[in-house]
Amino acid sequence: MITDQRFSAFNLKGDIFGGVTTAIISLPLALAFGVASGAGAEAGLWGAIMVGFFAALFGGSTTLISEPTGPMTVIMTAILTSMMAKYPESGMAMSFTVVMMAGAFQILLGTLKLGKYVTLMPYSVVSGFMSGIGVILIILQLSPLLGSPAPPGGVIGTLAALPETLSNIRWGELFLGILTLGVLFFFPEKYRKYVPPQLVALVAITLLSMLLFDTETVRRIGEIPSGLPSFVIPHINAEMFTAMVIDALVLGTLGCIDTLLTAVIGDSLTRNEHDSDKELRGQGLANLISGLFGALPGAGATMGTVTNIQVGARSPVSGMVRALVLALVVMIAGGLTEPIPMAVLAGIAVYVGFNILDWSFIQRAHKVSLPGMAIMYGVMLLTVFVDLIAAVGLGVFISNIIIIEKLSREQKRQVKAISDSDNNSVPLSDDERAMLDQAQGQVLFFYLSGPMIFSVSKAISRQHAAIADYKVMILDLSDVPMIDVTVALALENAVKDARDTQCEVFLLCPNEGTREQLGKLGVLNMIPKENDCKSRREALQAALKNIGAEAKDSPEKA
């Protein structure tokens, strides 16, 4: 299994150094995401280990680092909160069953070779969605940052409980959280390439908290079990089955988008090309295994992937080394995490949420496009306050409507009907214009160009509305590479209208794809075989002959 081409670029020094470096970066993030999700720090660590190892082993990219990410953690937090609220005894098992189902969904997408379609979303939707995820992550960490447990109810519950939380601030924890954010935001840029600020904040603020506060004053993680995680038996509740499926689809889809966008970034740095379908299968298998052991789901992580490449990693071995290093930390040095304050991890999570916000697009959205800006902010607000699926679905729908409307305006200009050579909107040669003049307004030259989609059907109807005034209609589709069913049916109506008024129809359609579509709907059968022409000149000559006029140009000029 591991003899595929991805391992051919193995670089001993670069891959081992990349694995160790990204393990150091992952440690504080895995702890923070585990605590933030409600599943516990150990769930975050084992998620980083299992997703990281199996995604690297079975995936489709060379240097991608996979682990629990901010967006995945936000979804997992919502799933855990809702499941545990309704089913305190089996909610945890049901939540990790959703993770397994999400993994199975990703495997299905990869098997059906749908990877290339996953990221086909307007950027304004992706930006709004990711920024919304960042806002959710920040809001959910407000209570832990202020020294209180996270209240139930997600974003709305946290905001509703904020007055009570503010009245019960634990100043020691708030102090540690603010110090953590200070280190993360103001850590000198020149040192960031040598040591991740998250690790500096984790170690430095933890040591400071041990000097300033006792165990009772500040809430801490506690010791992480050093053994292997417990096996989770899949549990499906009939009453919650539909909700579980929807949650799995959301989690799996988000993991696909997160992973493939990161893989594209990795490709741009390594000049390699990932296999998106194989990557989805690998990610799905990794999340399936992670869910079986009660660990957080994960996806491709941009920061880890970029760091991995920059330090010299060139094969999936680096991702596997990273997972093994983290496993050694859990198995041997799990007790070292015991004094880490919860406020420090909340600060790290807030910093991650802040970085998830698409500041680059937020600053420029109003300059680029007003509809794009409205979609971005609309998707962000819907993501935060309503529902993730509704946000993305509505955003994609509205974006596509706007795009279709713009395309329609452009394509309507490519639907033209002329009956004399004075109209220069149709690309006819001098000879062809002379022949059209000889028809003396009795021939309607109906010309379409470019891909024709359903939105231009009304323009076609308008152009042939006066068909009764002509004896011949030439339907020129020589510059139409693609035609959809709605347009084909509109052309069928045009032919029917012409036949009803005793107007002869000549067709010019050399493109095989367009002919096939017209043939499937029976439009070709409505036109006599001798009226199916090979060139404009042939069609114009046949039209002149039909109305009793004789072409003055010699056929040899064709």
pLDDT at 223: 76
In this structure, the answer to whether residues 336 and 442 fall within a common structural domain is no
| CA pair distance 343, 31, nearest whole angstrom | 12
pLDDT tens digits, residue range 126-167? 888 888 888 998 998 899 899 888 787 778 888 999 999 899
449 vs 185, higher pLDDT: 185
Q: How confident is the model at residue 10 (pLDDT cuts 50, 70, 90)?
A: confident
Q: What's the mean per-residue pLDDT of the chain?
A: 86
| CA pair distance 307, 313, nearest whole angstrom | 9
How is residue 309 written in tokens? 């490449």
DSSP letter for each residue of 483-525: B-HHHHHHHHHHHHHHHHTT-EEEEE---HHHHHHHHHTTTGG
In a domain, 396, yes or no: no
Sign of CA dihedral 460, 463, 465, 469: negative
In a domain, 81, yes or no: yes
Using DSSP bridges, classify how beta strands 443-449 and 472-479 pair: parallel, antiparallel or unpaired: parallel
In this structure, the answer to whether residues 345 and 475 fall within a common structural domain is no
pLDDT tens digits, residue range 366-393? 777 788 889 999 999 998 888 777 888 8
Beta-bridged to residue 476, according to DSSP, are 447, 508
| CA pair distance 292, 235, nearest whole angstrom | 11
Q: Are 511 and 448 in contact (CB under 8 A)?
A: no
Question: 415-419: long-range contacts (C-beta < 8 A, 24 or more apart)?
Answer: 415/447, 415/448, 415/456, 415/459, 415/460, 415/463, 416/446, 416/447, 416/448, 416/463, 417/444, 417/445, 417/446, 417/447, 417/463, 417/464, 418/444, 418/445, 418/447, 419/443, 419/444, 419/445, 419/470
In this structure, the answer to whether residues 286 and 212 fall within a common structural domain is yes
How is residue 208 written in tokens? 């400071």
In a domain, 405, yes or no: no
Quote the pTM value: 0.76
In this structure, the answer to whether residues 346 and 418 fall within a common structural domain is no
| pLDDT mean over 197-215 | 89
In a domain, 394, yes or no: no
pLDDT at 552: 52
In this structure, the answer to whether residues 116 and 250 fall within a common structural domain is yes
How is residue 84 written in tokens? 């545990």
pLDDT at 422: 64
Asked whether the predicted pLDDT for residue 54 surpasses 50, the reply is yes
Asked whether the predicted pLDDT for residue 335 surpasses 90, the reply is no
pLDDT tens digits, residue range 62-106? 999 999 998 899 899 989 998 998 888 889 999 999 999 999 999
How is residue 531 written in tokens? 């009226």
Residues in the chain: 558
How is residue 362 written in tokens? 């937020």
| CA pair distance 410, 275, nearest whole angstrom | 35
pLDDT at 96: 96
Residue 149 makes CB contacts below 8 A (sequence gap 6+) with: 143
Give the best-scoring range by mean pLDDT among 95-109, 210-224, 479-493: 95-109
pLDDT at 558: 37
pLDDT tens digits, residue range 242-261? 999 999 999 999 899 889 88
Q: How confident is the model at residue 549 (pLDDT cuts 50, 70, 90)?
A: low
- Please give the tally of structural domains in the chain: 2
Q: Which of 315, 336, 360 is the last residue of a domain?
A: 360
In a domain, 403, yes or no: no
| CA pair distance 97, 95, nearest whole angstrom | 5
In this structure, the answer to whether residues 247 and 323 fall within a common structural domain is yes
Which residue in the block uniquely carries the two structure tokens 């109506």?
493
Q: Can you give the residue range of the structural domain that contains 356?
A: 10-360
The C-alpha angle 370, 372, 377, rounded to 5 degrees, equals: 95
In this structure, the answer to whether residues 345 and 444 fall within a common structural domain is no
Q: What percent of the chain has pLDDT over 90?
A: 30
In a domain, 298, yes or no: yes
Q: How confident is the model at residue 273 (pLDDT cuts 50, 70, 90)?
A: confident
Beta-bridged to residue 220, according to DSSP, are 341
In this structure, the answer to whether residues 53 and 197 fall within a common structural domain is yes
In a domain, 408, yes or no: no
In this structure, the answer to whether residues 418 and 536 fall within a common structural domain is yes
Q: Are 223 and 338 in contact (CB under 8 A)?
A: yes
In a domain, 229, yes or no: yes
Q: Which of 297, 332, 360 is the last residue of a domain?
A: 360
Q: Which of 316, 342, 360 is the last residue of a domain?
A: 360
Domain of 523, CATH number, reads: 3.30.750.24
pLDDT at 389: 75
In this structure, the answer to whether residues 420 and 522 fall within a common structural domain is yes
